[in-house]
Amino acid sequence: MTKKTILNDAHRQLGARMVDFGGWDMPVNYGSQIDEHHYVRKAVGMFDVSHMTVVDIDGAQAKLFLQHLLANDVAKLTRQGKALYSCMLNETAGIVDDLIVYYLDDENYRLVVNASTRDKDLAWIEKQAESFDVTVNERPQMAMIAVQGPKARQKVCPLLPERLGLSAAEIKPFSACWFGEWFVGRTGYTGEDGFEIMLPENKAEGFWKQLLEVGVKPCGLGARDTLRLEAGMNLYGQDMDESKNPLESGLAWTVAWQPENREFIGRSALEKIKGKGTNDKFVGLLLEEKGVLRGHQKVVLEDGSTGEITSGGYSPTMERSIALARVPANIGETCKIDIRGKLKEATVVKPCFVRQGKVQVDF
Amino acid sequence: MSNTPDDRKYADSHEWALLEADGNVRVGISDHAQELLGDLVFVELPEVGQSVGKGDECSVVESVKAASDIYSPVTGEIIAINDSLEDSPEAINESSYDDGWIFVVKPVDISELDDLLDAKGYENLIEDE
């Protein structure tokens, strides 16, 4: 049975093309995906991300528990509302999921995890929580709308209830504020400024329509994917999974090694991997010829060794094809990509192509 | 579904084939196909002079979402390709039945067109999908 978000009817009324996404009936685009992409880079678009899973971790040992559960350290979070990106590892340092954790106070945190991994994540978190004084509460009744783009704040703030608009206008990037059941994080998955807004399901359709009225363009998962690819943000299940560790997924920066005595799950395995030195690294690729890079295409180095594209596609901002790839660490400045049997030239770059509307790489 | 031109035939792999006055067959993809694919960003064209068999992969269209093979609906020789698609693949989205044509085949046997669907048959096919 395909699951539907509370905004399903609203998407259909807008003529969205719907697809199955991890068991959810979701809009992939409402018209031109490329137009939606540009609108977010230049103005403001919105995405229904209510399929994502919100999990509250509460209790006297909430902080201690999350310091054990996550590879990044929630002790970095000292200001109320501050957010942190982290991997959740298994004992062998494979990535169970990536997530955002928000700090409400020392006994209350909120996690946002991927929709496609909901069941295993909840089972994993609950199992790990058994020996801690915490409660794990999923919040399936919350809708979530991401409003992204340089004009996101000016469009959203006046529509928020009570004084939340004033608070939301003040918060710094990667921070959140809340009022009642409304929760506003200045976070996103596009490389642009904006908010991710969690709100009660019964308010979602009204809020969505208000956003439409003030000119926020509805955008589908298609544009969300090209935006995050340009921003160089990993997608769980494509760029990493349980068979990969953070060091070979471009996520070493999310692992908090200090303090040394913090025993997070996967630490000892990851220390061994780090000690041996990883063979693979995570890079960005720019296709120098015509064509489109896609996930699973083979990357061929000068010495004949090979790697693999994990996510690829067309960059509407750069009007050429880009990709994220896991490759042998000795890769040079260029490589070849096997596209349907033809080897095409690509340049190796840092995996961050576009941020805040600006191209970050030479091309 | 009244936008399926009835002057041409359709393959169940979503190509259209238009028999022209000079006896050649112009090929493109249906409006339904372009809509499924989404915004087109790249077209790999066949070469003029290339021989193709009925059902052979001879071109690839790539959208923001996926790559899709284009099969020749008839056996023959490629005698023209739509070069303008190299710079403007979106012509397929905007005008799949006219400006968005992909190639022209000089057919060996035009009776091969009889194996394809007419407009009504094609509409029934995509309704069932």
Test the B interface: residue of A33, A315, A317 with most B CBs within 10 Å = A33
Chain B CA closest to residue A295: B66
**A162 pLDDT tier (thresholds 50, 70, 90):** confident
CA distance A314 to chain B (A): 6
Looking at the domain assignment, is residue B124 inside a domain? no
Looking at the domain assignment, is residue B4 inside a domain? no
Instruction: Give the containing element (helix H, strand E) for A182.
Output: strand A182-185
At A277 the pLDDT is: 85
Contact residues on chain A for B64, CB-CB shorter than 8 A: 33-34, 222, 226, 313-314, 316
Contact residues on chain B for A34, CB-CB shorter than 8 A: 39, 41, 64
Q: Look at B67 and A314 and tell me if their CB atoms are within 8 Å.
A: no
The model's pLDDT over B18-37, given as tens digits with 9 standing for 90+, comes to 999 999 999 999 999 999 99
Between β-strands A83-89 and A95-105, what pairing exists: parallel, antiparallel or unpaired?
antiparallel
At A361 the pLDDT is: 92
Which one is the CATH code of A54-138: 3.30.70.1400, 3.40.190.10, 1.10.150.80, 3.90.230.10?
3.30.70.1400
Contact residues on chain B for A291, CB-CB shorter than 8 A: 42, 44, 62
Coil, helix or strand at residue B73:
coil
Looking at the domain assignment, is residue B49 inside a domain? yes
CA distance A148 to chain B (A): 20
At A30 the pLDDT is: 97
What kind of architecture, by CATH, is found in domain A246-359? Answer: Beta Barrel (2.40)
**Is the confidence at residue B1, as pLDDT, over 50?**
no
Looking at the domain assignment, is residue B123 inside a domain? no
Give chain B's domain count.
1
Q: Which of A200, A199, A215, A201 is nearest to A154 (CA)?
A: A215
CB distance A64 to A263 below 8 Å: no
Looking at the domain assignment, is residue B129 inside a domain? no
Q: Look at B86 and A29 and tell me if their CB atoms are within 8 Å.
A: no
Chain B CA closest to residue A222: B65
**Is the confidence at residue A363, as pLDDT, over 90?**
no
Q: HEC string of A76-126?
A: HCCCCCEEEEEEEECCCCCEEEEEEEEEEECCEEEEEECCCCHHHHHHHHH
Using CB atoms, pick whichever of B38, B44, B60 lies closest to residue A29.
Answer: B38
Mean pLDDT of A126-143: 96
Q: Mean pLDDT over all residues of chain A?
A: 97
Looking at the domain assignment, is residue B60 inside a domain? yes
Looking at the domain assignment, is residue B118 inside a domain? no
At A22 the pLDDT is: 87
Mean pLDDT of A153-172: 96
Contact residues on chain B for A292, CB-CB shorter than 8 A: 41-42, 62, 67
Mean pLDDT of A33-48: 98
- Boundaries of every domain in chain A: 8-45+140-230, 54-138, 246-359
Residue holding tokens 């106070």? A105
The model's pLDDT over A323-349, given as tens digits with 9 standing for 90+, comes to 999 999 999 999 999 999 999 999 999
| Residue range A8-45+140-230, CATH number | 3.30.1360.120
Q: How many CB pairs under 8 A join A and B?
A: 41
- B99 torsion bin: left (phi>0), alpha (psi -120 to 50), beta (else): alpha
The model's pLDDT over A273-291, given as tens digits with 9 standing for 90+, comes to 999 987 799 999 999 999 9
At A261 the pLDDT is: 96
Using CB atoms, pick whichever of A222, A290, A291 lies closest to residue B65.
Answer: A222
Q: Which of A100, A102, A142 is nearest to A121 (CA)?
A: A100
pLDDT over 70, % of chain A:
100
The model's pLDDT over B39-48, given as tens digits with 9 standing for 90+, comes to 999 999 999 9
Q: Look at B42 and A226 and tell me if their CB atoms are within 8 Å.
A: no
Using CB atoms, pick whichever of A17, A291, A314 lies closest to residue B64.
Answer: A314
Q: Look at B39 and A34 and tell me if their CB atoms are within 8 Å.
A: yes
Chain A CA closest to residue B42: A291
Beta-bridge partners for A306: A300
The model's pLDDT over B70-128, given as tens digits with 9 standing for 90+, comes to 999 999 999 999 999 999 999 999 999 999 999 999 999 999 999 999 999 999 999 98
Q: Look at B38 and A33 and tell me if their CB atoms are within 8 Å.
A: yes
Residue B34 is part of which domain span? 9-108
The model's pLDDT over A81-129, given as tens digits with 9 standing for 90+, comes to 999 999 999 999 999 999 999 999 999 999 999 999 999 999 999 999 9
What CATH number does the domain containing B101 carry?
2.40.50.100
**B2 pLDDT tier (thresholds 50, 70, 90):** low
At A362 the pLDDT is: 86
Looking at the domain assignment, is residue B48 inside a domain? yes
DSSP B6-62: TTSEE-TTSEEEEE-TTS-EEEEE-HHHHHHH-SEEEEE---TT-EE-TT-EEEEEE
The model's pLDDT over B3-15, given as tens digits with 9 standing for 90+, comes to 899 999 999 999 9
The model's pLDDT over A282-325, given as tens digits with 9 standing for 90+, comes to 999 999 999 999 999 999 999 999 999 999 999 999 999 999 99
